[in-house]
Structure 1
């Protein structure tokens, strides 16, 4: 067994695809419209789905926004340098919500950014 993907519901699919590809450097792996159900699925990731876990971005055509709820945590990405990763996000208009620095009660360097829908993404420095 292995993890295939994590699904996020997004309000503006093109804006979300742009964030995950242009800002975070993922690739758009596939995208398909389902007119009968009025939704579109797009899969993004750093590697092919056969090689590792990816993100499924689900856009329900009639739902422009979502409440994130209190149970969701974050997506974690390994980066070489968390401060530089934050700078790249900021340069491309992204939102940094916690600058790079040691985690509370530890020494691992982390940072947090948000995607266009407010989902948290943690950078963990290698």
Structure 2
């Protein structure tokens, strides 16, 4: 078994695709409208779905926002240099909500940014310790 994808409901599919491709450097892998169900799915990621976990962006036609709730935490991305990644993402229009620095009660360098729908994305330096 393996994890195939994580699904996020988004209020504006074009805005979300632009964020994940332009700010985070992912690729739009596939997209399909489902008129009978009034929704569109877009799959994005850093590599082919056959061997990579990807994100599924679900746009329910006519729904422009969701309450995020308190259960979901964040998506984590490994980057070579958290400071440099923050600057690059900020320059591309990304909203940094926690600047690069050591995590609370640890030494791993992390940062957080927020996607257009308010989902948090954690950036973690490549050489972090897995706990």
Into which bin does the TM-score normalised by the smaller protein fall?
over 0.9
Could you tell me which residue of structure 2 aligns to residue 97 of structure 1? 97
Please give the residue correspondences for 1:22-101 in structure 2 after superposition, counting only pairs within 5 Å. 22-101=22-101
Which consecutive unaligned segments of at least 5 residues does structure 1 have? none
TM-score by length of 1: 0.98
Q: Distance in 1 between matches of 2:55 and 2:9?
A: 11
4+ residue stretches of structure 1 with deviation over 2 A? Answer: none
Could you tell me which residue of structure 2 aligns to residue 107 of structure 1? 107
Could you tell me which residue of structure 1 aligns to residue 18 of structure 2? 18
Q: Distance in 1 between matches of 2:54 and 2:93?
A: 23
Which consecutive unaligned segments of at least 5 residues does structure 2 have? 127-131
TM-score by length of 2: 0.95
Q: Distance in 1 between matches of 2:77 and 2:94?
A: 16
Q: Distance in 2 between matches of 1:87 and 1:51?
A: 29
Q: Distance in 2 between matches of 1:71 and 1:88?
A: 29
